[in-house]
Amino acid sequence: MSEFDLIRDYFCHVGAARRDVALGVGDDCALLRVPEGFDLAVSIDTLTAGVHFLPDGDPESIGHKVLAVGLSDLAAMGAEPAWATLALTLPTADRGWIGAFCLGFARLAKRHGVQLVGGDTTRGALSVTVQVHGLVPVGTGVQRRGARPGDRIWVTGTVGDAGLALRRLGAGEPVSPFLRERLDRPLPRVTAGLSLRGLASAMIDVSDGLAADLGHILEASCVGAEVELPALPLSPEAAGYLDNRGDWTLPLASGDDYELCFTVPPDRCGAVDRLAERSGCRLSAIGVITEKPGLRCVQADGSDWGPACTGYDHFADGG
C-alpha cells in the first residue's frame, strides 16, 4: 500500500464539507477563502508517543485529542474553527490504527464544522501534528495581554481532573471512566470562547496548569493576581482527592484540562453570569487581577499557600 492509497482512503473527506474550501486534499496546496473583515487565527500542536500519549494508546482518543488541543487554542482566542491540516508520522501503515485515529478526529471535526484540507504522511516514530485555522472578526481576537487591575479572573468547567487521572495512572491505581474521559477526550470550550469575545479582557486555555497559564496572562499584561483557592471549581472526584491530601498543586499545577481562564472587567461580570446560565457551561470567578506583580494563592483562612506552582515545561530539566 502506498502513501497515496492511504491519503485517498483515509484523508480525503474528513470532517465538515465547507463552502469556503475552494480546493481541499489532493493538490500541492489547499485553497481557502478567508471572508472579508476577518482575521485568520492559526495554531499548531504536536503530540508525540511516549510524551503526550502511550505508544499503545487508543488511536481514536489520540485523533480526538490532537484536534481538541488545537480547537482549545482557537477557543482561547475567541476564534471560530474552520480548517485543519494534519502531519502524521507512523511506524507502519496500520489500517486499523489509521481508521480509528481518523474516526476520533472526524467526529470532533464535524461537531465544530472543521474540514481537514491537507497534510503530510511520513514513516517514522509515531507523532501527530495538527494545525488549526479559525476566523475572528478583524481586531476582536482575545489576547493574553489585556488584563487590568480590578478585572475578575474566571475559569470554565473544572480543573485538575486530567492531572488526577495521570496521578492515578502513575500510581498504578484504577481510573474512573469520568477521569479517563477528561484526560483522553477533552472537550474544547469553543462555544464559551466565542461568547466571551467582547466580554473577556484577556484569555488563555489551561493546557500546562492553571497557575502557569494564568501566569502567562499576568506576564503579558504586566499585572499580578490573587486567586482564592476555595473558589477553584473541582469535580467531585478532584474535591474528594483534595479533602484527603490538602494538596492544591492538583488544580493549580496539573495540565491537560483544556479549560479557558479569562479576565473580565467588573462591569461586565454580570453578563458572564448570565452567559453561564444560558450556555450550561460552568463559569467560576476565582480571583482578581492586582497591580502588584506575582500570583498570590489565598487559602480559606486568608493565609497564603506557599509552594511554587509552575506548570508543565518540556525543557524544564535542561533537555
Alpha helix ranges (H) inside the chain: 3-6, 59-77, 95-111, 161-170, 177-184, 190-195, 210-221, 236-245, 249-253, 269-279
d(CA 310, CA 210) in angstroms, rounded, equals 9
Query: What is the footprint of ligand ADP within residues 79-98 (CB under 6 A)?
Result: 86, 88
C-beta of residue 1 within 8 angstroms of C-beta of residue 14: no
Written as one letter, the residue type at 215 is G
Stretch in the footprint of ligand ADP (CB under 6 A) among 19-27, 48-56, 201-209, 236-244: 19-27
Stretch in the footprint of Mg ion (CB under 5 A) among 25-33, 103-111, 120-128, 183-191: 120-128
Give the shortest CB-86-to-Mg ion separation in angstroms.
Answer: 11
Give the shortest CB-315-to-ligand ADP separation in angstroms.
Answer: 28
Comparison of 120 and 304: residue with beta carbon closer to Mg ion? 120
Give the shortest CB-128-to-ligand ADP separation in angstroms.
Answer: 9
> Rule CB under 6 A: is residue 317 a binding residue for ligand ADP?
no
The sign of the CA dihedral 290, 230, 169, 99 is: negative
Stretch in the footprint of Mg ion (CB under 5 A) among 53-61, 117-125, 192-200, 273-281: 117-125
Given 41, 76, 116, 196, the residue binding ligand ADP (CB under 6 A): 116
Residue owning grid cell 474550501: 21
Closest CA to 35 of 164, 133, 135: 135
User: 254 in the Ramachandran plot: left (φ > 0), alpha (ψ -120 to 50) or beta?
Assistant: beta
Given 3, 20, 120, 291, the residue binding Mg ion (CB under 5 A): 120
Residues in touch with ligand ADP (CB under 6 A):
7, 11, 25-28, 86, 88, 116, 118-121
Residues in touch with Mg ion (CB under 5 A):
120
